[in-house]
Amino acid sequence: MSSQTEANNAEPTRRHPLSVENFEMAKCLIKTNSTIWTKFLAFIGAHDFLSPEVWRASLTELVATAFLIFSLTSSIISCLESQSTDPKLLIPFAVFIIAFLFLLVTVPLSGGHMSPVFTFIATLRGLITLSRAFIYVFAQCLGSILSFFLLQRVMNQSAARKYSLGGCSITGNGYETTGINTITALVLEFSCTFLVLLIGVTVAFDKNMSKQLGLVMVCVVVAGAMGVAVFVSISVTGSGGYGGVGLNPARCLGAALLVGGRLWDGHWVFWVGPFLACILYYGFSLSLPREGLNFIDGEHDILRLARNCFRTSVERKNNSNV
């Protein structure tokens, strides 16, 4: 009987995290007297590798990322090729509309990441496991490759050569534009990504705010932040060779793999800048107020405070005279 009891007590420690059906049970394994390997698998959420829902969501991420990049890239090139006086002014509106539509559809299905940036910050905030993050990023990179494969088949060759197939470029195309230096691009990637995180992710990850605004308004805020970031990045440098802030390292990777050449120059910027922004934003988010701003109307009115101070000083003076 005692040996059977000991065997039953030892059973949870031998259970493989991949057989755990939910994340809460996996976290419990970390607290039990289990092996280091078991704790590690539970820590990364290895059970997600066997979850059909995770793979369905990752397929959604793959398809959504592919057609988001396809739509954004073709629309941006169309804006640049238009006869408008300043075609750069059209790009933020195109980014906003396309991003809003894709977010509205995919957020309820997979979370609407469609970029390693949002997946990374969601992982830092503990919203998804490391395993799900790995699957998502892999799917997003495959989606990027698929999108540029489609673009390569349908885009005019002269436009593809002129805009490097719409890939992330900081050095220009080599014969018409010169681009910007690597440090400037790194600062822009960091700053614009942090801007999107500060405005969009702060709203999206706040349960109370998201509930009050609703899905549509949350998507409007996130898409609007992306549009502003793109506009800032393409207008502040004044350089025609800079393709604008990436906001999506997977997009930059797909174009670089298919086109190569100058797209590999400074390619690391499109990964390091956003991930540094995510880390800094995560640290900043820990210091955000938990309850928001609570105040009573008129409590700190400046005239009221001045009258109270004056009244107190007069009363003290009268008391001293007495």
CA 312 to each of CA 96, 225, 309: distance values in angstroms, whole numbers, following the listed order: 56, 49, 5
Q: How much is the pLDDT for 169?
A: 77
Q: Which residues contact 157 (CB under 8 A, 6 or more apart)?
A: none
Higher-scoring residue by pLDDT: 170, 194: 194
Band of pLDDT at residue 133, cut at 50, 70 and 90: very high
Q: How much is the pLDDT for 139?
A: 96
Give the CATH fold of the 51-285 domain. Answer: Glycerol uptake facilitator protein (1.20.1080)
Instruction: Categorise residue 207: left if φ over 0, alpha if ψ from -120 to 50, beta otherwise.
Output: alpha
* Domain ranges, ordered by start, for the chain: 2-46, 51-285
Share of the chain above pLDDT 70, in %: 77
Q: How much is the pLDDT for 3?
A: 44
Band of pLDDT at residue 265, cut at 50, 70 and 90: confident
**Whole-angstrom distance, CA of residue 164 vs CA of residue 22:** 45
Q: How much is the pLDDT for 318?
A: 65
Dump pLDDT digits (tens) for 140-152. 999 999 999 999 8
Contact predicate 222/200, CB 8 Å:
yes
Dump pLDDT digits (tens) for 202-246. 999 988 889 999 999 999 999 999 999 988 888 776 555 566 787
Band of pLDDT at residue 260, cut at 50, 70 and 90: confident
Q: How much is the pLDDT for 2?
A: 41
Dump pLDDT digits (tens) for 70-121. 999 888 888 877 777 777 788 889 999 999 999 999 999 999 999 999 999 9
Quote the DSSP letter at residue 200: I
Q: How much is the pLDDT for 233?
A: 84
Dump pLDDT digits (tens) for 7-18. 444 444 433 333
Q: How much is the pLDDT for 21?
A: 47
Q: How much is the pLDDT for 220?
A: 96
**Whole-angstrom distance, CA of residue 192 vs CA of residue 184:** 12
Residue 33 backbone dihedrals phi, psi, to 5 degrees: -80, 70
Kindly report the pTM of this predicted structure.
0.79
Q: What value does the mean pLDDT of the chain take?
A: 81
**Mean pLDDT calculated for residue range 33-56:** 87
Band of pLDDT at residue 301, cut at 50, 70 and 90: low
Share of the chain above pLDDT 90, in %: 40
Q: How much is the pLDDT for 82?
A: 77
Helices of type H across 82-201: 90-110, 116-124, 130-154, 157-162, 182-196
pLDDT value at 154 more than 60? yes
Band of pLDDT at residue 4, cut at 50, 70 and 90: very low
**Mean pLDDT calculated for residue range 195-199:** 95
**Whole-angstrom distance, CA of residue 284 vs CA of residue 303:** 35
| 20 token code pair | 């755990």
Classify residue 159 by burial, with Cβ atoms within 10 Å: 0-12, 13-18, 19+. Answer: middle
Closest among 26, 35, 202, 59 to 130, alpha carbons compared: 26
